[in-house]
Amino acid sequence: MTTVGVLALQGDVREHAAAASALGAQVTLVRHPSELDAVDAMILPGGESTTIDKLLRAFDLRDPLMDRIREGMPVLGSCAGMILLATDLVDGIEGQHTLEAIPMTVRRNAFGRQVDSSEVDLTWLPDGSPMQATFIRAPWVESYGDDVEVLATAVAADGVEHAVAVQYGTCLATAFHPEISDEPRVHQRLLDLI
């Protein structure tokens, strides 16, 4: 059976665990490097990216996680997880680290503050179907490398269309929260990468 790890340091841990479990995966909550060793794929939940970054380092998970991702372990990052997977940040906190997994520049809190949270209708570009997405203090992708596939875009308050879901090899990232919208396609895509 496929085992999906959910980084359980802070954020939407329960919701992601339920989404992966609903698709038939066995779920392990990951707080220590030994737990990371036992998973086939990893989910980095939404939450507070600076807090998750600090906790990754405090729990000695950052380097082992980066190693597993470099080795090809599939990973999904939503919202704060997208920020963690980026190579570069705009509006990051001084000293904030990322996992440098996807060649992209991400703007933290690009969609605004908590009060600006919203549900948006998107097009899931892989099949052209509609998708409802929940944005909560969400980032967006400012720029990305040539090999990054854009899976969804959204027009933001600045009137510009930005990438809000991307894939690079076995790394997926969404600015929105598929675990909240009861939207299985993003988690299924992660499972399909295993």
Residue-wise pLDDT for 122-168, tens only, equals 999 999 999 998 887 788 899 999 999 999 998 776 778 889 999 99
Domains of the chain, by residue range, sit at 3-192
Residue 78 to residue 164: CA distance in whole angstroms: 10
The question of whether 177 is a catalytic residue gets the answer yes
The question of whether 32 is a catalytic residue gets the answer no
Catalytic hit among 171, 177, 183, 187: 177
Residue 100 to residue 87: CA distance in whole angstroms: 4
Catalytic hit among 15, 16, 79, 162: 79
Catalytic hit among 15, 16, 162, 179: 179
CATH, domain 3-192, list 3.40.50.1400, 3.30.70.60, 3.40.50.880, 3.30.2010.10: 3.40.50.880
Mean pLDDT (the chain) is: 91
Q: Which position has the higher pLDDT, 179 or 91?
A: 179
What region, left, alpha or beta, does residue 125 occupy, with left being phi > 0 and alpha being psi -120 to 50 degrees? alpha
Specify the range with the lowest mean pLDDT, choosing from 29-33, 116-120, 176-180, 187-191: 116-120
Q: Which position has the higher pLDDT, 1 or 147?
A: 147
What region, left, alpha or beta, does residue 91 occupy, with left being phi > 0 and alpha being psi -120 to 50 degrees? left
Residue-wise pLDDT for 29-54, tens only, equals 999 999 999 999 999 998 888 899 99
Query: What's the confidence (pLDDT) of residue 115?
Result: 43
